[in-house]
Chain A
Amino acid sequence: MVDSAVNTMGFPVLSLIVLVPLAGALLLLWLKDDLQIKRLALLVTTLDLALTLKLLAHFNPDTHLMQFFEEYQWIPALDIHYALGVDGISVLFVFLSAFLGWICVLASWRAIEQHVKGFMCALLVMQTLMLGVFCAMDLFLFFIFWEAMLIPMYLIIGVWGGDNRIYAAFKFFLYTLSGSVLFLVGMIVLYFEGGRSFDIPTLMTQKYPFTVQFWVFIAFFIAFAIKVPMFPFHTWLPDAHVQAPTAGSIVLAGVLLKMGAYGFLRFSLPMLPLATHYFATPVVLLSLVAIIYGGYLALAQDDLKKLVAYSSISHMGFVTVGLFVLNVAGLKGGILQMFSHGIITGALFLLVGLVYERTHTRLISDYGGLMKVMPIYTTGLAFFTLAAMALPGTGAFIGELLVLVGVFGFSKIVAALAVIGALLSAGYLLSMFKRVALGKVTNQALTKSWDLDAREVVALLSLALFVLWVGFYPMPFLNIMHASVEHLLQQTQAQVVLISR
């Protein structure tokens, strides 16, 4: 592990990034005043965001090796280490998690009225765990972060959620748990097959027999497909997203869904290349179903959050299809789509939350003519609606375009069908915008609501900044991931080539 262990910063920056929110959560316990609690949470997340920016600034995009690597003995008897590191793929998601964590605190400023302390603690713990997932370089450590996330998320949905929150919390918990326990079994199988090591870079260099890859792939696939979520494992998502409080939805859609796809990138593709090639076509087809089916379901929704939730299923379909066509364009597009989907969906959930705080309804039929009441808000809504449609100039466009280029290389029919999904998204998003913002104000209750304040505008603007940045100048993002993606593709191809000879 020495050759890929580089830490260009003098201090353990990743540990700091991961643990700062946790320390903040512990500090919060001593505060009594709600406003102070919010301020401290904001301070902690801002600090964390600043640290990730510093991380990005020091990141070396020319290598696929793990950077900012740190490693300590943890459980020597099983050769388990506390090992953190990032490559060009995960560094983007470290940033995304920290960024959305900051947005979440801003989004919860007024939305959370009860048990503010508990909520902020759960949110910060959640952030530690999310960052940990993306930084972990030891499979055991990864699993600890991955699974422990159930606890704060269960509480966030169940305590601060909507009317049907308890059902949604149970469904989320049990669904995700049953997926990840299979991951646990697969992971231990890999441990023994890979020479008794949980070290992720080591496991990547091992060659596993096809039967092992086959079964482990299935176990991993169920765990990740539930998290993404892919058709037919998506049924928990609408409930969880709709019932969760705004910040919970942002975290769920923005980061948690990405973890499933990240799992494919980090484990399934490089560690199980033979099985990946074997299963690529079925997975692509399932993704295709998700794209179209999710879009159709979104068309029929009257609940704003449900609409965004189903659109997430459809958009995440683009991600998984991009990953499993197994070429550079598809992979890069998929990763970029993950990043921009995180930001755009986060923004859409934030927008829904903002208007819900004011009107206490999420039903599209209760709205109409919002443009006249809340012009600034409607501007934001229009912008992010167009962004979610993948209009050129926004991040989603670059992502989806690259994915489609990749898919075209895989199969022209699949590419043609995937475009239907893009058309559908234009359909449900535009019709949503029309029914919410345009026309006459039919519901008099709307006239009582007020427009956005500075805090909310700042949150939306910073999200919009990244949408445009990726949309107009995606090169920095593509550069960061380039070396890692190339290397990943090599890992995926090498064994297959060897066998086909």
Chain B
Amino acid sequence: MDQDAIIHSLITSLPEITVLLAACLLLMLDLVWRRQRVAVIGYLAIAVIAIAALETLLIAGQIKPVYNGMFVLDDFAVFFKLLFCLITALCILFSIGYLQQEQIEHSEYYVLLLFALCGLMILASAVDLIIIYVGLELMALSIYLLTGFKRQSRLSNEAALKYVILSALSSSVLLYGMSLLYGLTGTTNIADIAAVIGLQAAIDPLLIFAIVFLIGGFSFKIAAVPFHMWVPDVYQGAPTSITAFMSVGPKAAGFVVLLRVFLQGLLPVSEIWLGLFTVIAVATMALGSIVALVQHDIKRMLAYSSIAHVGFALLGVVAGGKAGIASVMLYLLIYSFMNLGIFSAIIVMRQGAFGGERIEDYTGLSRSHPVLAMLMLIHLFSLAGIPPTAGFFAKFYIFVALIEQQHIALAVIAVMFSAVVAFIYIRIVMLMYMRPPTGEFAMQLELPPRLALGITSMAVIVIGLFPSWFLTLAQIAILQ
């Protein structure tokens, strides 16, 4: 690389560099300036994220890969980088009160979140298998630590350990798939892989192996059946704010990579993986929807519901094409808002001894806290996909993409499962609205988590009523 190329590369990765440097600075700041409240670090982290998002916007629109063709900042990457910034900022917002509540207020929490964000942003730009792996590990390592952040809690420790072991295993599977792919094509660059595979007349049996391993690895990251087993335990044990983050950020990142690798790199051999993804999508929807019906812990229930949502989003991958990719992007955007919203409601409910983690804890909420109950209701109906909320439009557009590609049977299966999964959400609505309260609520009514809830509620309603702008955004930003 000559000097120009290096400078160009540095500029293109400026947001990542900003986040990384700022994270290191914040870590040191905490050591030298001990008397400030930890929350200040949180607000500083939000400021950093805002700067990174701004930088991303300013330098957007560079189609040409940098760093020797390993890193790109196309519209697709920009879309997801902004989404990741938004997710992390919202997550920090509702973490501020929560950490105090759990008495785990340490500034490392925010620093680790920034590192995770950096990993996510790298994933959004990665067009090379090596960079993908680096991004995945940076993200995963930060989240291991965050999962076990409730150091005194046995569940939290168990969750972290489980996550580390299983995630490491899946990473090795993924890596094996990548190495096979490299062996077959002689390159790790996604565009080159597509070119090499496109030239081959017959399909190498080893390629099937490689694809199966890759799918296995990615399925773990996005928590698709049959690699979903870790999700309920980890979601339940992790601090709620981290559960919220995990349920959207890494998942969306998994989809980013999935879209890049499969709908770009491996598109020429789509007949190999399309059937596999179809089966996985249906199984994921089915398992998530049905098992969620019998959960009593709200975090476990949301874990299974998130599995079901992954199944839906995978349908967009199966549909493929421009509409398919846009539908996955829109789904992830809307899903992030809904899930973060419902988790911030759970965090608002958490106070001292009062758990807010059993579903029955919400019984009769509407009597004493009508506004909170109303906002939860909006999110729940959105998760169930009932119009006029954003959740409906997300599902609608997936169906449009599916039916455009003539996958009508698949669409019928999907809508039936969406009716099944609606039950779990309206059950919470039932508890909140149709049963008298069984005890006193002790709310943590601090501003930051309520602000987060307010933002997501607005988003869910506004996107639901006026989806046009967001749809256009996703359609512009699809993979070229």
Contact = CB atoms under 8 A, between A and B. Distances in A.
B403 A173 contact: no
B444 interface: no
Given A77-B475, A165-B434, A170 B387 contact: no
A148 B392 CA distance: 10
A132 to B, nearest CB: 10
Contacts, number: 81
Nearest to A193: B403
Contacts of A159: 433-434
B400 A177 contact: no
Nearest to A75: B468
A178 B420 CA distance: 8
A159 B422 CA distance: 18
A252 B308 CA distance: 32
Contact of B403 (A118, A155, A182, A189): A189
A184 B385 CA distance: 12
A181 interface: yes
A185 interface: yes
A147 B392 contact: yes
A286 B467 CA distance: 40
Contact of A174 (B403, B415, B422, B434): B422
Provide the main secondary structure of the chain B interface: helix
Interface in A44-91: 74-78
A146 to B, nearest CB: 9
Given A151-B386, A184-B415, A177 B422 contact: yes
B472 A77 contact: yes
Contacts of A182: 412, 415
Counting chain B CB atoms within 10 Å of each CB, which of A75, A143, A150, A166 scores highest? Answer: A75
A113 to B, nearest CB: 15
Given A181-B419, A182-B412, A188 B399 contact: yes
A148 B472 contact: no
Contact of A188 (B370, B381, B386, B411): B411
Given A78-B471, A144-B388, A188 B434 contact: no
B416 interface: yes
Contact of A181 (B388, B408, B415): B415
Contact of A185 (B366, B404, B408, B472): B408
Nearest to B464: A144
Interface string B175-200: 00000000000000000000000000
Counting chain B CB atoms within 10 Å of each CB, which of A118, A165, A173, A182 scores highest? Answer: A173
B227 interface: no
Interface in B399-429: 399-400, 403-404, 408, 411-412, 415-416, 418-419, 422-423, 426, 429
Provide the main secondary structure of the chain A interface: helix
B430 interface: yes
B277 interface: no
Contact of A78 (B400, B415, B418, B433): B400
Contacts of A74: 468
B396 interface: yes
A192 to B, nearest CB: 6
A185 B430 contact: no
Interface in A167-201: 169-170, 173-174, 177-178, 181-182, 184-185, 188-189, 191-192
Interface in B359-401: 366, 370, 381, 386-388, 392, 396, 399-400
Contacts of A368: none
B281 to A, nearest CB: 16
A185 B387 contact: no
Given A78-B471, A166-B434, A184 B396 contact: yes
A78 B429 CA distance: 32
A185 B415 contact: yes
A77 B412 contact: no
Counting chain A CB atoms within 10 Å of each CB, which of B416, B419, B471, B475 scores highest? Answer: B419
Contact of B386 (A150, A158, A169, A215): A150
Nearest to B370: A118
Interface residues of B, number: 32
A166 B423 CA distance: 12
Interface string B127-150: 000000000000000000000000
Contacts of B387: 143-144, 147-148
B434 A158 contact: yes
Contacts of B433: 155, 158-159
B468 A188 contact: no
Interface residues of A, number: 33
A394 B366 CA distance: 45
Interface in B298-340: none
Contacts of B472: 77
A283 to B, nearest CB: 21
Given A158-B433, A159-B433, A169-B430, A185 B399 contact: yes
Contacts of A76: 468
A157 to B, nearest CB: 9
A154 interface: yes
B411 A185 contact: yes
Contacts of A158: 430, 433-434
Contacts of A185: 399, 403, 408, 411-412, 415
Nearest to A114: B367
Nearest to A179: B419
Contacts of A215: 408
A76 B466 CA distance: 11
A174 B417 CA distance: 11
A154 B386 CA distance: 12
Contacts of B411: 185, 188
A166 B400 CA distance: 34
Nearest to A175: B419
Interface in B336-368: 366
A472 B305 CA distance: 57
Interface in A218-261: none
A136 to B, nearest CB: 12
B383 to A, nearest CB: 13
A174 B419 contact: yes
A413 B426 CA distance: 46
Contacts of B435: 166
Counting chain A CB atoms within 10 Å of each CB, which of B387, B411, B435, B471 scores highest? Answer: B387
Contacts of B400: 78, 188, 191
Contact of A170 (B366, B388, B430): B430
A165 to B, nearest CB: 7
B399 to A, nearest CB: 6
A185 B370 CA distance: 35
B413 to A, nearest CB: 10
B426 A170 contact: yes
B101 to A, nearest CB: 30
Interface in A306-346: none
30 contacts: A75-B468, A77-B472, A77-B475, A78-B471, A118-B370, A144-B387, A147-B386, A147-B392, A148-B387, A154-B426, A158-B430, A158-B433, A159-B434, A165-B434, A166-B434, A169-B430, A169-B434, A173-B426, A174-B423, A177-B386, A177-B419, A181-B418, A184-B415, A185-B412, A185-B415, A188-B396, A188-B403, A188-B411, A191-B400, A215-B408
Query: Closest 3 interchain pairs by CB?
Result: A181-B415, A178-B419, A144-B387
Given A169-B434, A181-B419, 5 more contacts: A151-B381, A170-B430, A182-B415, A185-B411, A185-B415
